[in-house]
Structure 1
Amino acid sequence: MSIDISGGMIVGESGYRFNPPDDYDGTLELWADEVGLDSMSERFDADCTQTVYGFTVPDVAVSDIEHEWLADVQEKAQQFKALTGVDARLIGTQDVY
């Protein structure tokens, strides 16, 4: 067994802040995968409450941030809220898996 670490930015929120829809008969992890949400966690084998779900965005230097990148972040935040009912945050984090 090996542990890998990557990192990046994700537009979303921690799994402890939302649940799958009431009519979904499965786990948060399965639902997130089915609707196309990415996930990142700072701990190996983290449960859903310790995992951030959302949509990844590319890392960019502050000097390279352009309108298109900001528009992409805002669009992904709207998609996240439409799926979860929760306001998204832009989160930079490690992903340990």
Structure 2
Amino acid sequence: MPGRHKQIVCACCNRPGRHDTNGWIKACARRWRNAGRPDTGPPPPRRHRGPANRTTTKRRTEYAALAALGRSEAYIAWKLSVSERTVRRYAAAFQNSQTQQKAAA
């Protein structure tokens, strides 16, 4: 049924979201259930620590080198053994990082 869950501010993390149980949003309730429903409430959310593996960072670096040489998306995809869509994602991430570096300078 749509609209069954009302929007609340979570009692655990103070983020807005859909109510699940105990005044918590769905993400906090899920952490609580996965932790074995402790009396202390849900454990804190995990902090993002960057790329899950260094291969992604390495491939993005390889992308930047090939793009600087003027290679096509199709060639870069073939060379890195990824899809052209992934190459477009690398391009967007690279442009984003360049924009952030210029803004910080």
Instruction: Provide the TM-score with structure 1 as the length reference.
Output: 0.26
Higher normalized strand content (fraction of residues)? 1
Higher normalized helix content (fraction of residues)? 2
Instruction: Provide the TM-score with structure 2 as the length reference.
Output: 0.24
| Greater Cα radius of gyration, structure 1 or 2 | 2
Q: Which has the higher contact order (CA 8 A, sep 6+)?
A: 1
